[in-house]
Amino acid sequence: MLHEITPYIFFTGKGGVGKTSLASATAVKLADEGKKVLLISTDPASNLKEVLETNITEKITPVSGLSNLHAVNIDPEMSAEEYRNRVISPLQDILPEWEINKIREELSGACTTEIAAFDEFARYVAGDGEDQPYDVIIFDTAPTGHTLRLLELPAAWSNYIESNPDGASCIGPSSALKTSQARYQKVVDRLRDKDATTVYLVTRADRSALNEAERSGKELMELGLKNQFLLINGYFEPVDVSDPLALKMKEIADSTLENMPAFLQKMNNLVFPLRPYNLLGIERLRKVFEPLDKQEIRDTSGTLLTEQHESYLPGLDELMADITEKDHGLIMTMGKGGVGKTAIAAAIALKLAHRGYPVHLTTTDPAAHLLDQIGDLHIPENLTVDRIDPRAEKQAYIEKVLKNKGSKLNEEELKLLREDLESPCTEEVAVFQAFSKAIHQARRKFVVVDTAPTGHTLLLLDTTGSYHRDVIRNNGINSNNLKTPYMYLQDADFAKLLIVALPETTPITEAAKLQHDLRRAGIEPYAWIANQCMSAAAVSDPLLKQRAAGEIPLLQEMEKKHANRLYSIPWIAEDRILQHLLLSEKQTVENT
């Protein structure tokens, strides 16, 4: 079992490392022991429904089969709508309808969604004056960048409110927030109390996941959350020691763990083995804290297929041929955290550059692993690489506004402008402007965007849509020369959105949700990429064979039910995946 049980337990880390599985397994374990447990997801891309096999909604729901375990999703959009209604309700009989509609439109941005989600989150930690009916509350958090932003919000809004007590921001009248300051402080105090809160940093034996665990651990330390433990998930121990791929996987994992950051080495840790199946359902979750039964795996693997099942699917080089029918355009990799978007985005950008195209590679991910992926690889002169850094973009935006407007203001007006620009919403605007600039570059070159995990991406696209609506409203819909970033994303000839998923149930479900949301916005994904396909590799290890066999119906679901086009990338047992992806292309060229 885990090291210690406090009233509040957080599972956080890079997307795709297994936070939901371990959080759910812990919740089931504690419920089996008789504790009353509430499991909460604060991830905009939550998959509690699949893992618990219960229809989890924004209302507290009993988990099937466990009377003392309940779960709930904090739905950011629903929280935002409730928040808007709370702000607008007192104004209904005071202001005319057109002003009410204007306020509602101003409260439609991603910033409102973020603070509303935190407001809901705070209710569970601080309570509303009622007796706490649960012994333990477990938080399955969003990917790290989103979580850190969530925890920083109380200080950010407190500072803004104190400096601008009578003002209004894009989240509504600041006075409406001030009534919650005491509760926000109570939340922060509880999070910093080691007897009340434990943070589990979840990782895999993967360099980028460990680096992310180190980054988030240090930043959480700075926020005062010091009661931290490391959970290493999905560690692979070969069953068949004659399988070269299996041995290589273990060798890479062991080397990665031996060289993990010093900050993590000092931390108490637990290791959870890779299972031959996905952790879906209560019975499988109950096995998480049990040792792996290798004999059982051997006994059940004899009848499994071993041939390459999905070799008919086109690969990365075929994708390159398809997307270079034009010599410019926007390419975005999207999907659940941890599915390999960053490596694929970097590979596409480098392959385009090697073919002689001018290319710009950037990321909207707050965790920004692009440079980790590229490492010491040579970057061609026709390839530029950067990241959309929220803090840097905010500072640049503030300086630009002050330069353009500051000279025309008196001292008091300048003071008010500076206070207004310190609103956390300024960051949202600044990031959007940087994203828009990248889109416009794609009119003359290839721009490859490695997006943040799904929830962040949708918030960014929502901002893009809000901007589009503002432009249309202010300029008139008959403006012939008008083309907003949103319209570029809707242009299938210009923008090619690639949805990346692993051949596993949860990533596919999340990818399908993302595709549905994009289509509702009039944006049609170009293709899906099934990454790290074990079924395409020659394996003899019984555990890996079971995982490979489990992929077959999932690949068929991707191809027949979801994707307009489906490309695949086989499992790569290499420490430097990007280099291997590029080497495979070079070898293909040399062999032709």
Q: Which residues are catalytic?
A: 16, 18-21, 43, 506
Whether the Cβ atoms of residue 453 and residue 12 lie closer than 8 Å to each other: no
Give CA–CA dist 491/149, Å, rounded: 32
Residues 555 and 535: beta-carbon distance below 8 Å: yes
Q: Which residues pair with 570 in a beta bridge?
A: 533
Contact present, 525 and 575 (Cβ < 8 Å): no
Strand-pairing partners, residue 89, are: none
Query: Amino acid letter at 586?
Result: K
For the beta carbon of residue 271, count every other beta carbon within 10 angstroms.
13
Quick one: which of 447, 451, 423, 435 has its CA closest to 367?
Answer: 451
Per-residue tokens: 424: 């956390």
Return the SS3 of 226.
coil
| Chain centroid to CA 473 | 32
DSSP class of residue 71 equals E
What is the helix (H) or strand (E) element at residue 211, kind and residue range? helix 207-222
Q: Tell me the HSE value of 307 on the side-chain side, using a 13 A CA sphere.
A: 4
DSSP 541-583: -HHHHHHHHHHHHHHHHIIIII-SSEEEEE----S-HHHHHHH
Measured from the Cβ of residue 290, the count of other Cβ atoms closer than 10 Å reads 8
Report residue 147 as tokens.
């979580």
Which residue has tokens 């922060």? 188
Query: How many angstroms separate the CA atoms of 222 and 114, rounded?
Result: 21
Type of residue at 95: L
Residue type present at position 379:
I
- Provide the CB-side half-sphere exposure for 292 (13 A, CA): 18
Helix (H), strand (E) at residue 272: strand 269-273
Which residues does residue 437 pair with via DSSP β-bridges, in sequence order?
none
Pair type for strands 495-501 and 168-169:
unpaired
37-41/168-169 β-pairing? unpaired
Name the residue type at position 358: P
For residue 464, how many other CB atoms are within 10 A of its CB?
Answer: 22
**Biggest distance spanned by C-alpha atoms of the chain:** 81
Q: Which of 399, 443, 116, 21 is nearest to 11 (CA)?
A: 21
